[in-house]
Amino acid sequence: MTLLNLFSSRARVGNGDARSEDRSIMLMVVLLLGLVFAPVIGLHVAAVAFGPPAAASSPDHLAHQTPPPVKPTRG
């Protein structure tokens, strides 16, 4: 089944019940896609809303400003 089959511009042949069948199929597809994608989108929103704040890099925390480790002495 392709989009061309779903959204045909030709006149339908047969009884008038075919359009309601198409609507019920599209409704089921939309509901199933909602069941798949709604939790994923909800988890992303929750992660952004309640997650840890993004750490902004300030010049005080750069690696080249920290002292190098002390080398152990021999002997």
- Residue carrying structure tokens 């309640």: 50
pLDDT level of residue 12 (50, 70, 90 thresholds): low
pLDDT in tens, 28-44: 999 999 999 999 999 99
Provide the domain count of the chain: 1
For the chain, give the mean pLDDT. Answer: 75
Query: What type of residue is 38?
Result: A
Q: What's the whole-model pTM score?
A: 0.41
* Residue 13 maps to a domain: no
Q: Which structural domain range is residue 40 located in?
A: 19-53
Apex 32 CA angle, 9 and 28, nearest 5:
45
* Residue 36 maps to a domain: yes
